[in-house]
Amino acid sequence: MILHIACHELRRTFHSPLAWVVLGAVQFFMALFFYVLLSRYLEPSGWQANTGITEFVVAGTLQIGAGVMLLVTPLLTMRSFAEEQRGGTMDLLLSSPVTLTQLVLGKYLGVLVFLVLMVAMVALMPVSLLPGTMLDLGHCAAAFLGLLLMLAAFAAVGVFMSTLTSQPTLAAVGGFAVLFVLWVIHMGAQGSGEQAAAVFGYLSLVRHYENLLRGFVSSADVAYYLLIIGLFLSFSVWRLDAARCWR
């Protein structure tokens, strides 16, 4: 049943013109950043001689790309439940013979598959370098793992925000606001004590992503993203359960 819901959600995403616009925009900007970083790496000045092409071009592109994904992911998740509430089909969903967990996971996986396809298209850019240079494939794998985990966390937050309102635009704005706070929360540690700095640093999406971009795969970083995903998906289930009790 989860796969059936996910396939339906994926088809609905591909039928949306917004999804194609987002896909095209992401590929354009990622290709542009990739080209700029590659051109700078090939400059004869040699100032980047101590930096490998994997670290400078591939990881650099993905570092910038995460910010782009932060902007567009809420646009893909905003319709998950908000559209159902606005269209009056939420009652039908809540009374259907599926559990709320299956419903949330199905919606989430549908969006996540689209995001994975988007990342797969981005992955073709560093692959194009293989005939002409040696890439650190392990480093590339860790960086793309970080991007996938980051997007999975983005999607979980976006799905939850979509359960809170019947207006997709508000869901997108709310999702971006929550993600932005998690993105910059480590800055709140400036001028704070050592314990506060450690807490804010752990809560930051960026700090864990930076470790993966450097090629270091830590169970603590992976567990952080899995915790964010599980937490916000659980919030979504609880929100729908409360909504069903009110009806």
Burial class (CB in 10 A: 0-12, 13-18, 19+), 85: buried
SS3 102: helix
Q: Whole-model pTM?
A: 0.91
* pLDDT for the residue numbered 230: 94
Q: Domains of the chain: which residue ranges?
A: 2-246
Out of 113-122, 168-177, 196-205, pick the least confident: 196-205
Contact 65, 33 (CB under 8 A): yes
* pLDDT for the residue numbered 191: 58
* pLDDT for the residue numbered 45: 65
